[in-house]
């Protein structure tokens, strides 16, 4: 039997199209429990590769005959070994090229909306990590929001669309992933904006992102305006695009809200978070479509793979927006927090320009889920 090599892109399509897949994950049990490839119709078997060194015969009965089988490990090596053993045992299997490292890195660009006069809004879905980045394209100009560190993906995408990148924004200083924002700006000559309150320790030049800052994209003047919305960080800023879309950064997600503790100041910022969610956003039009900077679980994906929901619907359905008692809200976002993201303190240092890890070290820092939310 042959062993085939699948790319992360191929698996991303299976997730979005809700296809069936059987994943044999050969990482150790802790790694699997912490983080895996999520799919609506995926089934899993976790057997560490080091328990299969004497042979795979023992697990053959547990592998379905009627589904495609994908072997997954951290970097690829062990999955190739196990896939070849299964192939010799007569089973047709595939392995994930580059392992979970490549899954964590893969970005799927999906069109989220058509804007005025042929403008487009794209959401870049990083399925493996739950990060969402955005690009607005309008008549030869582009603006990017919360770009992750794979700068080539954004630069090449804009190039293919014939658009020059003019503005690059980060809604806040990220703690769960390394920003590509300032590097894209440096390479393309675009402006790089960061909220000043978050960037006090930053060692690079940037344009301060202030409340009500307004830029126009392209000849059709797609409007992008900033709305100061602190709580996840003291500088967290949202964006209104074309008066139809609300980029909420890490303040409001589809099924959860932002956590106030990743810069170490949960007690101080919980009041800001409450004001933003229960006052500032409340005053906005309910028909705005919320586009967050993260998703947490695969169920948040819409049919087309995008992660987007009407603000008015979130006020009905999102638990974090429906805690009337302020003391209870405070407890929810300070007491029962999930574990912090992997290496979040180092990642903040990188995003301030104080640490400059190489590519391999960046990959290590970003291993695991994003964990920026409170449910």
Partner 1 sequence: MNITKTLDAKGLTCPMPIVKTKKAMDTLNSGEILEVLTTDKGALSDIPAWVKSGGHTILEQKTEVETLYFYIQKA
Q: Which residues contact partner 1 by CB under 8 A?
A: 28-31, 48-51, 53, 73-75, 77-78, 81, 364
Q: Say which DSSP state 41 is in.
A: E
The C-alpha atoms of residue 177 and residue 194 are separated, in whole angstroms, by 15
CB atoms within 10 A of CB 249: 30
Q: Say which DSSP state 51 is in.
A: G
Task: Tell me whether residue 81 or residue 298 sits nearer to partner 1 (CB atom).
Answer: 81
Residue 192, Ramachandran bin (φ over 0: left; ψ between -120 and 50: alpha; else beta): beta
User: Tokens standing for 172?
Assistant: 């806040």
Query: Cβ 36 to partner 1, closest distance in Å?
Result: 15
CA 183, 186, 190, 196 torsion: positive or negative? positive
Task: Tell me whether residue 81 or residue 266 sits nearer to partner 1 (CB atom).
Answer: 81
Task: Tell me whether residue 30 or residue 160 sits nearer to partner 1 (CB atom).
Answer: 30
The one catalytic residue among 56, 73, 143, 314? 73
Query: Cβ 361 to partner 1, closest distance in Å?
Result: 10
Query: Cβ 89 to partner 1, closest distance in Å?
Result: 17
Question: What sections of 106-253 are H helices per DSSP?
Answer: 151-160, 181-188
Query: Cβ 185 to partner 1, closest distance in Å?
Result: 32
Query: Cβ 8 to partner 1, closest distance in Å?
Result: 18
CB atoms within 10 A of CB 90: 8
CA 162, 164, 170, 171 torsion: positive or negative? negative
Give the burial class of 369: count Cβ atoms within 10 A of its Cβ; 0-12 exposed, 13-18 middle, 19 or more buried: buried
Query: Cβ 190 to partner 1, closest distance in Å?
Result: 36
Task: Tell me whether residue 97 or residue 242 sits nearer to partner 1 (CB atom).
Answer: 97
| CA 260 to chain CA centroid, nearest Å | 18
Give the burial class of 145: count Cβ atoms within 10 A of its Cβ; 0-12 exposed, 13-18 middle, 19 or more buried: buried
Task: Tell me whether residue 20 or residue 361 sits nearer to partner 1 (CB atom).
Answer: 361
Residues comprising the chain, all counted: 375
Contact 208, 190 (CB under 8 A): no
User: Is 131 an annotated catalytic residue?
Assistant: no
Task: Tell me whether residue 290 or residue 347 sits nearer to partner 1 (CB atom).
Answer: 347
CB atoms within 10 A of CB 180: 23
* Active-site residue list: 73
């Amino acid at each position: 039997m042959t062993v085939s090599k699948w790319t992360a892109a191929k698996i991303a399509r299976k997730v979005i199209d809700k296809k069936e897949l059987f994943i044999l994950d050969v990482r150790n049990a802790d790694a699997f429990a912490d983080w895996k490839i999520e799919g609506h119709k995926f089934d899993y078997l976790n057997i560490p590769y080091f328990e299969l060194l004497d042979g795979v015969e023992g697990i053959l009965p547990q592998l379905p005959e009627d589904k495609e089988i994908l072997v997954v490990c951290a970097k690829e090596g062990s999955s190739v070994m196990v896939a070849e053993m299964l192939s010799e045992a007569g089973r047709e299997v595939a392995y994930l090229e580059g392992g979970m490292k490549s899954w964590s890195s893969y970005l799927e660009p999906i069109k989220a909306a058509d804007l005025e006069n042929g403008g487009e809004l794209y959401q870049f879905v990083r399925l493996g990590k739950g990060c969402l980045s955005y690009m607005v394209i309008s008549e030869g100009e582009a603006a990017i929001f919360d770009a992750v560190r794979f700068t080539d993906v954004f630069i090449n995408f804009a190039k293919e669309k014939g658009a020059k990148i003019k503005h690059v924004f980060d809604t806040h200083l990220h703690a769960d992933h390394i920003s590509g924002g300032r590097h894209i700006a440096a390479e393309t000559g675009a402006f790089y904006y960061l909220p000043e309150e978050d960037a006090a320790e930053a060692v690079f030049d940037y344009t301060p992102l202030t409340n009500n800052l307004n830029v126009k994209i392209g000849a059709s003047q797609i409007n992008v305006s900033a709305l100061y919305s602190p709580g996840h960080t003291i500088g967290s800023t949202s964006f209104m695009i074309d008066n139809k879309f609300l980029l909420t950064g890490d303040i409001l997600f589809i099924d959860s809200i932002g956590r106030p503790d990743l810069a170490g100041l949960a007690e101080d910022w919980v009041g800001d978070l409450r004001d933003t969610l229960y006052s500032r956003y409340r005053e906005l039009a309910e028909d705005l479509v919320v586009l967050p900077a993260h998703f947490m679980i695969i169920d948040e994906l819409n049919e087309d793979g995008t992660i987007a929901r009407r603000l008015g619907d979130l006020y009905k359905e999102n638990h974090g927006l429906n805690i009337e008692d302020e003391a209870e809200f405070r407890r929810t976002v300070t007491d029962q927090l999930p574990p912090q993201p992997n290496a979040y303190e180092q990642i903040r240092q990188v995003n301030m320009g104080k640490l400059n890890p190489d590519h391999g070290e960046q990959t290590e820092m970003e291993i695991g889920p994003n964990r920026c939310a409170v449910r």
